[in-house]
A = this chain, B = another copy of it.
Amino acid sequence: MPTITPKILPATSSATNPPLMIGDLLDAGVRMAGDNPIVYRDQHRHDYRTFRERVHRLAHMLTQQGVSAGDVVAVLDWDSHRYLECFFAIPMIGAVLHTVNIRLAPEQVLYTMNHAEDTFVVVHEDFLPLLEPLAGELPRVRGYVLCQETPKAMDTPLALVGEYESLLSQQPARYDFPTFDENAVATLFYTTGTTGNPKGVFFTHRQLVLHTLGEASAFQAPGFALLSRDKVYMPITPMFHVHAWGVPYTATLLGATQVYPGRYEPEMLVSLLVKEKVDFSHCVPTLLNMIVSAEAVAAGKVDLTGWKVLVGGSALTPSLARRAWALGIDTRSAYGMSETCPLLTATILPRHIEQADIETQLPWRCKAGLPVPLVRLQVVDLEGQPLPEDGESVGEVRVQAPWLTQAYYKEEARSEELWRDGWLHTGDVATLDSRGYLTIRDRIKDVIKTGGEWLSSLELESYISQCPDVAEVAVIGVADDKWGERPAALIVPADLNRPPSNESIAEFLEQFVTQGKLNRWAIPKVIRFVDVIPKTSVGKLDKKRIRSEI
């Protein structure tokens, strides 16, 4: 390929070729739906025009407190209208929004706040007990703004500058926001790795605007129609986690009514869903499961018909999708990760599947789906060669898109592992079918490499978990001189007093061998029966600790 010298005329200037700025998303939403409400539990409700005015007041307040472009502002709050305001005001003055993961252990919260170099903090009163013991070790922080549900005097050693609502009310209603380089960092947060310190990922104004436009396009695909001026949106994915999948930005662009639920208490969530007539939410399978199992829902006392839920984080299973469908809930899948802003793919059903019965649809609804516009996605072998799109060839997913974290923040070595050959390596193994639909099979580090073949620990777990004697299972690879690795399982028996035997598990798995789904050598020889399986802070199997227990 010869060097490309296309015509570039005239020298690009920011006057005629303006940068992509997050603030433009807000203005579009206010134009589209100035009257639509932003709702916080049953405590607050105001329209989009007030929302924008509050963003301007917040910008004034931050500026008054000495926050300027390039500074990093930490937020510790439940999902709220305040958090949404921080999503806009902080980046719009050129500062960086650090959404602190409030579920991390205190020493990890401390690590991330110092690593991010936070200089100013917005903190909900519920997190004072978390921050107070750390404050002495946060030398850069110059001030704390307190968020309270109802104003009352607080006795705290933190250097409070005031209460959020009260500070906002003292500010002018109009801020003259600057325009600057679209590659300026807008947001920063940390992923919860199972090894080493949390890793910082960051996104620029350009990336968030493009992610929002790409997400808006994907969310309007046939069968979706998830967001618009006439829809009501409520996230059930924390706003500290990948900006709630970026959906608050997309909902704002399109002018949707937005409902923020604070803490994720199942009763409150269900009551908001019903009261606010929520059309669309997104969450991990665990939370969807919690909601469909909530007493009022299970007892048929509330009607969730028409509620659309996009499920991500881990795989939506056909059985959960079926339970939801029986309650009138329409579920689809989306796939992405912290490093990818996050949206990479979403389950848009092929036309012939969309017209089929629900049992035909369910497996399709559980696939990761199609790459959204501007995402380039490949499934490659260990040498980086793209594999056939045959629905069977398993390899690692690697991606390019204009909204991927460009590095781990101040982590050169780890960044080089993430970005190789110009592609971001997701660490997920998957198949692509002939229509381009992605199905995630496993994490690459959980794949068991045995005798030159890849065995999915996830698949093996799914087979073992179908055994009635098994309550929970985790599968890992253990070193083997002959095969490289062999599978081993940690099992919580259904009846702790009557654990099954290795032989009965092997016998149960024979049916999958007969059906051609499993190779006989994949039946684990090493099995430990335990009372509980180690999990990470977000409830995923902690395979690192599991390895140490086998």
Contact = CB atoms under 8 A, between A and B. Distances in A.
A27 B372 CA distance: 10
Given A2-B68, A69-B6, A229-B222, A16 B406 contact: yes
Interface in A351-373: 351, 370-373
Q: Chain copies in the assembly?
A: 2
A475 interface: no
Nearest to A184: B6
Contact of A32 (B5, B34, B348): B348
A461 to B, nearest CB: 31
Given A16-B407, A228-B220, A230-B351, A374 B28 contact: yes
Q: Is the interface of A mostly helix, strand, loop or mixed?
A: loop
A131 interface: no
A298 interface: no
A275 interface: no
Interface stretch (A175-183, A303-311, A443-451, A490-498): A175-183
A185 interface: yes
A228 B217 contact: no
Contacts of A8: 181, 183-185
B18 A402 contact: yes
Contacts of A185: 6-9
A176 B181 CA distance: 32
Interface of A: 1-2, 4-10, 12-13, 15-20, 24-25, 27-28, 31-32, 34-35, 68-70, 72, 94-96, 176, 178, 180-181, 183-185, 202, 204, 206-207, 209-210, 213-214, 216-217, 220-222, 228-230, 253-254, 348, 351, 370-374, 376, 400-402, 404, 406-407, 409, 419, 422, 424, 435-436
15 contacts: A1-B178, A4-B94, A6-B94, A6-B95, A6-B184, A8-B184, A13-B406, A15-B422, A16-B424, A20-B402, A27-B376, A35-B351, A216-B217, A217-B254, A220-B220
